Amino acid sequence: MTHPEEKVQEQPALRELADDPASRKKFLKLMGGGIAGASAFSLFLAACGGDDDEAAGTTANTAPAETEAMAADGDLKIVNYALTLEYIEADFYAKVIESGLFSGASLETIKVIGDHEQQHVDALLGTAKKLGEPAAKPETTFPLESADAVLELAATVENLGAAAYLGQAGAIKDKAILAAAIAIHSVEARHASALNILTGKSPTPDGAFAAPLSMEQVLPKVKPFIVS
């Protein structure tokens, strides 16, 4: 016999969308189809499987209110993780602009990307405040020795950011937060592609499908940019 609580299992939003054709159609329509739909599809492939059954097992015997609180806490952790990365990116571009290493069209491009990152900060900060306590803004430092070195670092940072969003997509519970994450991931990936071309790399270094990175893989890579 199934207990009532067992029916209330807060599952990742991607799994719900993958399992429910009606939800999936509504979500993809919300995302506008086209490129966004293709991005969503790649996220399904990269993040929909894995340990969903294990995750469901941890909530099967949990009361609905407690399950909802756990889901919100999990999403807050992901939002604050993304917020921290965006703080770093926004600070990076602000300091690059102040460095005087760039001018003309290159400087304008950097300003556009920097403005995008600040908008990401603002959006994620607002979401974190609704969910609970937002992450504090870290003090940052970056090696700004030459224009070429800065472009290399910018490409590294943007590729890392895109992979970080992809790595968390399968764990997000709230569909509105998932939609925002996909929208930001798409822009981060476009930044990365443009910078990859400028630095002589492939615009799609992972091939036809982007490779996700976990928090454990990303955080050590950004630690050198944070002042202890």
CATH topology of domain 64-225: Ferritin (1.20.1260)
pLDDT recorded at residue 73 = 83
Structure tokens at 52: 């969903």
206 vs 192: CA distance, rounded Å:
12
R_g (Cα) of the chain, nearest Å:
19
Q: Which helix (H) or strand (E) holds 217?
A: helix 215-222
Give the model confidence (pLDDT) of 133-163 as tens digits: 999 999 999 999 999 999 999 999 999 999 9
For the chain, the domains span 64-225
Residue type (1 letter), 18: A
Give the model confidence (pLDDT) of 164-186 as tens digits: 999 999 899 998 999 999 999 99
CB 153 within 8 A of CB 143: yes
For 105-145, the three-class secondary structure string (H helix, E strand, C coil) is HHHHHHHHHHHHHHHHHHHHHHHHHHHCCCCCCCCECCCCC
Q: Which residue has the higher pLDDT, 87 or 2?
A: 87
Pick from 92, 210, 201: nearest CA to 157? 92
Residue type (1 letter), 67: T
135 vs 97: CA distance, rounded Å:
25
Q: Rounded to two decimals, what is the model's pTM?
A: 0.75
155 vs 113: CA distance, rounded Å:
12
